[in-house]
Structure formats: C-alpha cells, structure tokens
Amino acid sequence: MAIINVSGLGKVYGKSEAQTVAIRDISFSVEEGEFVAIVGPSGSGKSTLLHILGFLDRPTTGSYRFEGKSMSEYSDDECARIRNQKMGFVFQSFNLLPRDTVEENVARPLLYAKVNRRERNTIVGHALESVGMSHRIYHRPFELSGGEKQRVAIARAIVNNPRVIFADEPTGNLDSQSGANVMDVFQALHTEGRTIILISHDREISKHAPRLLSIRDGLLVSDERGNAASVQ
C-alpha cells in the first residue's frame, strides 16, 4: 500500500477576484522507501504541494490519503501529532531554534512525543551520530556552519523515526561542498530504506533521487523513474 496517495489535488489561495491557483489536479502515489524529487521553477507550486503533503496545509480540492487514511479525517491537533510522529521536515533555512543547543533542537520532537529524558538522550545521540554531528552536541546554532546546521536539522527530522522525510530545498542555502555532504546524508537515509520527498529547483540536486516529479504552473507535467545518477 502506498504511504502517500494524492488525487486531483488543488490549492487556491485568497477569495474571488484575488484568487491565486497554486496547484491544480495533481495525482500521484509514493511507496514506502522511495526517494522522490519534486522539481520546478520558483512559483510553480512545489512548496504548496510539500506543505500539503507534510500536513502543514490543507488542499482546497481533491483528496490526500496518508497511510491509506484521508487527511480530511484528521483535526488540526491530530495533524500535529502525525507531523510529530510520522513525518520529519528539513527546510532551506534550517529553522533551528536559535537559543536551544544542538541536543535540545534535535530532542524537541521527542519532547512533544513525551519521551522521557534518559530515552531521549540515547535517541538524540544516535540521530546526531548518524549525521556526523556528535561533536557539536552542546553548541548553539549560531556557532555552526550552514552545512552543520542542516545536518542537525536532518537529525531532528529523523529523531522520531518518521515514515516520511520532507525536504524543502535542503541545499538552497549551502555552498556546493556542504550541499554535496547533505545530499550524501539523504542518500544514506534512502539506503537505510527511508521514504524521502525532496523539492528543489536545481536539477543537479534532484539527480540524487531515483524518481522525479516535475511541476510547472501548478500542474504535474512529468513523472520519471530511473534517474541515471541514482543508479550507481
């Protein structure tokens, strides 16, 4: 069964005259363990699509089934719980809490999941180790480089052992070397069998993903599998 299944998905912002159609009639499915890149120029609607897939926003038309259950059946608080327990987010601008240490940032989703302190420390330790950031555990975000921040953000995204990781232009604010390192982390996660959905306007980055969805003017224009770069 597909983890994600969208059909006829559309999102319209604003009312009557001032309406903007962000996406329209988008349908596709994602299976467990897939690494999908959604590409398109800025303003194409890919961010809107990611927000809906990540339960941060609701579609105006169409249906979205996550783990076989329609999103419309979930209340806002239930959506928050799904985000907390089944989804991980990586953003272009890292979105770390500036005053929390690396450890506290990564631990935050576990806090909302009521994991006790001792268990939390163990899980956070593993997550930081898997992104190679164990040596920065007590640092604060402003003491880290961009690439390091993003790896901490990835650790936070995987700390609750989510079913899907959403990444929104994760390399957009990084130099090419740091970007490559971050993409290596995603590759490793994919190899572990995690489901990843990544959006980017950069076709080079999206070459890491075996499956490529192209979006233009809010419409899904292509769905290609077997990206050359990923078949190594």
Partner 1 sequence: MRQVFNKNTFMLWRDLIRITWQELRKNGWRTFFTILGIVIGVGSIIIVVSLGEAAEELIVEELSGLGSQTVLVAAGREPKGPADILELLTDTLKEREYEALQDSSRVRNVVALSPIIFQPETSEFAGETERGTLIGSNEELFHIFQVYPVEGRIFSAEETRNRASIVVLGSKIKDELFGPSDAVGEMIKIKGRSFRVIGVLPSVGNITIFNVDEFMVIPYTTVQDYIIGTKYYNRIILEASSNKVIPLIVRDIEATLRELHDITDPSKDDFFVDTQADAALRVQAVTDIFATLLIAVATISLIVGGVGIMNIMLVSVTERTKEIGILKAVGATKDTILEQFLLESVLITTIGGIIGMIFGVFFSYSVSLFMQAFVNPEWKFVFPVSAVFIGVFVSVLIGVVFGIYPARKAARKDPIESLWYEQ
DSSP 57: S
Return d(Cα 83, Cα 109) in angstroms, integer: 9
* Site for partner 1, residues 50 to 79, rule: CB under 8 A: 51, 54, 56-57, 76-77
Is 84 near partner 1 (CB under 8 A)? yes
Residue 26, SS3? Answer: strand
C-alpha torsion 197→155→126→205, nearest 10: 50
With contacts defined by CB under 8 A, name the span among 28-36, 38-46, 103-111, 128-136 that binds partner 1. 103-111
Q: Which is nearer to partner 1, 111 or 221 (CB)?
A: 111
Residue 185 to residues 57, 133, 177: CA-CA distances in angstroms? 27, 12, 13
Q: Which is nearer to partner 1, 78 or 224 (CB)?
A: 78
Total binding residues toward partner 1, as defined by CB under 8 A: 33
Each residue 22-51 as x (binds partner 1 by CB under 8 A) or -, in order, gives -----------------------------x
DSSP 179: H
Return d(Cα 109, Cα 95) in angstroms, integer: 13
Is 85 near partner 1 (CB under 8 A)? yes
Residues of this chain that bind partner 1 (CB under 8 A): 51, 54, 56-57, 76-77, 80-81, 83-85, 89, 91, 95-97, 99-100, 108-117, 119, 123, 156, 160-161
